[in-house]
């Protein structure tokens, strides 16, 4: 397993409960704006009010996409009109991942790399984070929050490595800050995700910075 595969397997557990990507995974949760209901979909769960429209657009544009014609009319609706009760749309997303496996898997791999993996790598490269645990923490933050939120970074003093700070201390500070933010969040759904940061805290405590030791990701060993 490559370092990227290990990191993404751990995040897959967090997102879908499986180390093996579930490209077809679709759930409806109250995690939209003002706790509104929305679809989350795919191997690392992009959201209806977030980037789902880009994922569907990439699929529709992919050569040979079997469900392109059926999904095209939804491109002007996703993120504008709530679709969490649209049974036909939800089934199309599932069918595209189950019955058009090769195309949808490639689209999702490219999509999650473009919007999440590559920005996380850029953040690591720009700030001189090198350790695999650091990259896992930062990728997970991009998947879970879309970035490494500045408002969380402002809550601790440690500098990033490129500015002379300690990589281990910065990551430990960020994980603890994020852990506290999730643990006491007013949104119960976010409070329930505190297992993510607890996993990272456990790896830091065991000095598993290069992820050479097995990682217990919410009950699944990677």
Domain ranges of the chain: 3-221
Question: Per-residue pLDDT tens for 162-187?
Answer: 999 999 999 999 999 999 999 999 88
Q: Is 155 helix (H, G, I), strand (E, B) or coil?
A: coil
Q: Is the pLDDT of residue 98 over 90?
A: yes
Q: Average pLDDT in the 203-209 region?
A: 98
For the chain, how many helices (H) and strands (E)? 11, 5
- Over pLDDT 70: what percentage of the chain? 100
Quote the pTM value: 0.92
Q: Is the pLDDT of residue 124 over 90?
A: yes
Cβ neighbours of residue 37 closer than 8 Å, sequence gap 6 or more: 28, 29, 30, 82, 84
| Interatomic CA distance for residues 19 and 15, integer angstroms | 9
pLDDT of residue 187: 85
pLDDT band at 59 (very low <50, low <70, confident <90, very high): very high
pLDDT of residue 33: 87
Q: What is the DSSP letter of 206?
A: T
Tracing tokens 């050569």 back to the chain, one arrives at 63
Q: pLDDT averaged over the chain?
A: 96
Q: Is the pLDDT of residue 67 over 90?
A: yes
pLDDT of residue 35: 84
Q: Is 163 helix (H, G, I), strand (E, B) or coil?
A: helix
Helices (H), 77-186: 87-99, 101-112, 118-127, 132-145, 150-153, 167-183
């Amino acid at each position: 397993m490559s370092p990227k595969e290990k990191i993404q397997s751990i995040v897959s557990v967090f997102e879908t409960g499986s180390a093996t990507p579930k490209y077809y995974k679709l759930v409806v949760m109250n995690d939209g704006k003002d706790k509104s209901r929305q679809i989350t979909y795919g191997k690392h769960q992009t959201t209806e009010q977030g980037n789902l429209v880009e994922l569907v657009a990439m699929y529709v544009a992919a050569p040979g996409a079997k469900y392109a014609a059926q999904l095209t009319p939804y491109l002007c609706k996703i993120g504008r009109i709530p679709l969490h009760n649209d049974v036909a749309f939800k089934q199309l997303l599932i069918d595209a991942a189950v019955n058009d496996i090769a195309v949808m898997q490639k689209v999702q791999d490219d999509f999650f790399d473009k919007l999440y993996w590559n920005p996380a790598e850029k953040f690591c490269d720009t700030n001189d984070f090198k350790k695999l645990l650091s990259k896992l923490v930062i990728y997970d933050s991009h998947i879970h929050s879309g970035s490494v939120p500045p408002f969380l970074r402002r809550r601790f003093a440690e500098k990033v490595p490129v500015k002379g700070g300690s990589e281990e201390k910065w990551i430990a500070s960020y994980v603890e800050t994020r852990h506290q933010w999730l643990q006491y969040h007013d949104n119960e759904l976010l409070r329930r995700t505190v297992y993510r940061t607890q996993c990272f805290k456990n790896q830091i405590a065991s000095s598993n910075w290069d992820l050479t030791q097995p990682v217990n990701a919410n009950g699944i060993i990677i």
